[in-house]
Structure 1
Amino acid sequence: MSIRLEVMLNPACELEYADAWIVVDVLRATTMMTTFFERGGKVILPVKSVEEAYDLKRKLGSDWLLMGERNSLPPPNFDCGNSPVELLDCFLGTYEGAIMTTTNGTKALLLASTFANIVCVGCVRNATAVLEVALKYGNKIGILCAGRFNRAMIDDTACAGLMVDIVRDRVENVELNDGGKIALAVWEYYDKNMLEAFKDAEHAQSLRALGLWSDVEYAALQDESKIVPKLAIWQGLKAVVT
């Protein structure tokens, strides 16, 4: 079996069509989405802007959560931010779903949706599970790192490197683009220790300053989840489901 892995280190890279794309915004959007479904959530409607989120909430009603962030904090009148740890004590099955917008992750997810048969939500916590799903769709797999403000970031790059490492352990012949080789080198530079990589990451440092370090520690735990959120169409809208 031969696999081609295309890793794009930020959304400014020119995407190519792949059998499956995995979108990674490990700090914190894709970790948040995975946790949302672990806590009983039904559907997430990702949107690019806060204004779109407000408009959709008005149309859909009070049974829908507003979820997300700008500059790592919840916008005004949002029900919750982008903190997966915040969700751990919640059961979300009583809501119809969530409308979500983040600075980087939701935009990357929507971008990838035009370049694959399937788009999966990936993070450290579901790294093996998401790869198992993606590999069922073909032998050309893309990993899109959301980065931050269209720049490559250590956290997403290290997560992509972990995913490359997992595939190389399972598949004899893996072809990597330069992004994949860079991601693997970053992962190996930190001795395959995700928390150590995160400690060096600019975004993680900003989360620490906001008192959100528990999110960073939570996001660094590998293969804690079998949940694999995927992009789909829900009532004519792009949605994340399981």
Structure 2
Amino acid sequence: MFIEVYPTAQSVKDLNGKTAIVIDVLRATSVITTALHNGAERVIPVPSVEDAFRLARDLKGNSLLGGERRALKIPGFDLGNSPLEYKKELVEGKTVILTTSNGTKAIKASESAEHILIGCFLNASAAAGKALQTLSSETTGVAVLCAGTLGEFSLDDAACAGLIVDILVRNIKRINEIPELSDLAFACRDLYLEHRHDLKTFISHAAHYKRLLDLGLEKDIDYCLQQDVLDCVPVYEKKNMAVKIY
């Protein structure tokens, strides 16, 4: 089985016949996973603020607007891009309309894939396991898609990609198959294994980490770097353009 990693949403090529795992650790995919774990009915990723307001009007209630620009809550929105805001009492039974600088664009960039899963540190093992379950004669590879930061490579996403690649490799080897890794998948796995015992220090060198820290969002960072604390795997359904747990 072939496992590849894309460094940014903008680098994605044709994913036809593959299962994609979309990652934006700080913070969109952590938000989506948390919101759905806490009972949100669905999350609808949209590219622009205008699209979000338009969709909210069309839905006529029972929806929440969430997202950020430059890591800050968008004026007029109900929620920002902190997973800690998406509490059960706020999101349960609601549709969350989400627009972010990187993560929602990465989801849209993955739409040529056969299956699209949402991953982060919070659900890394569950996401990798779900990806393996989707494989068949028609779906023979996994593409781990890092959102990146404004079109640039991001250490936080790369570390999470490395974790997921490592989980995939270990599970594939258990069934006596030999995985084939792209160069970047190999490098991300090696990065993760080298720094796994102190990921926060490693990721502290990321530009986006520093931006969040400057904004006083260290609690968000600490939350997003927890590994395997959630077992839900959000799935993006292209037909409905929404992320749900199926």
TM over 0.5: yes
**Aligned-residue offset at 1:196:** 2.6
For the 8 Å contact 1:40–1:91, the answer to whether it is kept is no
TM-score normalised by the chain length of structure 1: 0.93
Deviations 1:29-58 (A, max 9, x none): 000000001111001111001111011111
Q: 1:137 to 1:237 in 2, by over 3 A?
A: closer
2:237 is equivalent to residue 239 of structure 1: no
- Structure 1 partner of 2:31: 32
Partner residue in 2 for 1:79: 78
Shift of 1:142: 0.5
CA separation in 2, counterparts of 1:225 and 1:14? 27
Count residues in correspondence.
Answer: 236
For the 8 Å contact 1:198–1:216, the answer to whether it is kept is no
Q: Could you tell me how far 1:19 is from its partner in structure 2?
A: 2.5
Match of 1:6 in 2: 4
More helix by share: 2
Instruction: Give deviations 1:74-110, integer Å, cap 9, x for gaps.
Output: 1110000010012246342243x11110000001001
Corresponding residue SS for 1:12: helix
Q: Which moved more, 1:170-179 or 1:148-157?
A: 170-179
Tell me the distance in 2 between the aligned counterparts of 1:29 and 1:131.
Answer: 18
Deviation at 1:189, TM superposition (A): 3.3
- Is 1:118–2:110 an aligned residue pair? no
The equivalent residue for 2:191 is: 186
- CA 1:195–1:113 in structure 2 vs 1: closer, same or farther (change >3 Å)? same
Show structure 2 runs of 5+ residues with no match: none
* Preserved contact between residue 162 and residue 192 of structure 1 (Cα < 8 Å): no
Q: Which residue does 1:149 correspond to in 2?
A: 150
Letter in 1 for 2:117: C
Amino acid at match of 1:135: L
Could you tell me which residue of structure 1 aligns to residue 40 of structure 2? 41
SS of the residue aligned with 1:133? helix
Is the contact between residue 19 and residue 141 of structure 1 (CA under 8 Å) also seen in structure 2?
A: yes
In the alignment, the residues of structure 2 paired with residue 191 and residue 42 of structure 1 have an alpha-carbon distance, to the nearest angstrom, of 34
User: What TM-score do you get using the length of structure 2 for normalisation?
Assistant: 0.91
Q: Secondary structure at the match of 1:68?
A: strand
Distance in 1 separating the partners of 2:75 and 2:198: 36
For residues 118 and 72 of structure 1, what CA distance do their matches in structure 2 show? 28
Larger mean Cα displacement after TM superposition, 216-225 or 183-192: 183-192
Q: What one-letter code is carried by the residue in structure 1 that aligns with 2:162? A: G
Cα 1:66/1:14, change in 2 over 3 Å = closer
Counterpart residue number, 2:106: 108
SS at match of 1:231: strand
Residue ranges of structure 1 left out of the alignment (5+ in a row): none
User: How far, CA to CA, are the matches of 1:55 and 1:182 in structure 2?
Assistant: 42
Question: Which has the higher mean CA deviation after the structures are superposed, 21-30 or 61-70?
Answer: 61-70
Q: What displacement does 1:63 show? A: 1.5
Matches within 5 A, 1:193-208: 193-208=198-213
Deviates more, 1:5-14 or 1:121-130: 5-14
Q: 1:197, CA displacement in angstroms?
A: 2.6
Q: Letter of the aligned partner of 1:159 in structure 2?
A: C
SS at match of 1:90: helix
